[in-house]
Amino acid sequence: MELKNYFFKFLPKNRTQKLSEKDLLFRKKISDIVGYNIHNLEIFKEAFSLKSSTKSTNKKNYERLEFLGDSVLGTIISCHLFQTYPNENEGFLTQMKSKIVNRKNLNKLGEDLKLSSLLQVDTSQTILSENISGNLLEALIGAIYLDIDYEFCKKIVLDRILTPSTINKLENKIISYKGLLLEWSQKKKVPIRYETCEEFQPNKIVLFRCHVWLHNERISNAVEASKKKAEEKAAQRAFYVLSKKENIIENQKTIS
């Protein structure tokens, strides 16, 4: 509570000013998402403001609230998993948390809530980051925390954003085929290696081709726009090839 009171010193004091139609609509949309009538409109406007291209240091944007929301969300999920899985070890809890708060999952949640449509700028002329939806989701959680308190924020996250049923569905989901193959290869003591190189296309686009080798046999390959994506896609294809021969997943709960 002391931390919350510290943050409140920096929040606007005047909350009774007359709002424009745009602000009224924005407040309604936010309230519909979070399920309560928000108090501090300015903190939510900050959560949906992009970083200015000008050199002004006073222009607020979502990044600070994203930082705060990331920590708040991590605490909420950690506590929820600790209570939900009393018999599981630290490794399982860590893997489950990773599945829940990984960027791909947060992006999807933010996209489902259409958070980018709430940005306080005309996005038709703006190139948005591929992770903008997940970033805004974390900023929204940070804003909820400051607007009310931790316990209420926790309730909103688990009741409306990351419900227990949603979390349960992630239990057996594979989020990294590369990590899964590494775990399998270490357990079986078989060498798996990745060979990735750049490919220059005629239209000057640079792509990455990754080959996955098991012993001296090339078992899969894939091409993507980044080295990381190429290796993950190649690992996914290798997983399906090996799954036809061996039971790679012996215990679903150990998948990372």
Rounded-to-integer distance, Cα 155 and Cα 203, Å: 51
Rounded-to-integer distance, Cα 215 and Cα 191, Å: 6
Residue 136: per-residue pLDDT: 97
> Sign of dihedral through CA atoms 42, 36, 163, 74?
positive
Domains of the chain in sequence order: 2-169 (1.10.1520.10), 177-254 (3.30.160.20)
Q: What is the pLDDT along the chain (256 residues), one digit of tens a residue?
A: 555 555 555 555 444 568 888 899 999 999 999 999 999 999 999 999 998 766 555 578 999 999 999 999 999 999 999 999 999 999 889 888 988 998 889 999 999 999 999 998 776 677 788 899 999 999 999 999 999 999 999 999 999 999 888 888 887 777 788 888 888 888 889 899 999 998 888 777 889 999 999 988 999 999 998 898 999 999 999 998 888 877 666 544 433 3
Active site residues: 70, 138
Rounded-to-integer distance, Cα 171 and Cα 163, Å: 13
Q: How far is CA 2 from CA 9, 76, 149, 172, in A?
A: 11, 19, 11, 39
CB-neighbour burial class of residue 117 (10 A; exposed 0-12, middle 13-18, buried 19+): exposed
Rounded-to-integer distance, Cα 45 and Cα 27, Å: 9
Residue 248: per-residue pLDDT: 67
Residue 252: per-residue pLDDT: 41
Q: How far is CA 153 from CA 76, 115, 127, 227, 256, in A?
A: 9, 18, 31, 38, 27
Residue 255: per-residue pLDDT: 38
Across 76-108, b (16+ Cβ under 10 Å) vs e yields: bbbebbeeeeeeeeeebbebbbbbbbeeebbbe
Residue 31: per-residue pLDDT: 95
Return the closest-CA partner of residue 179 out of 248, 131, 93: 248
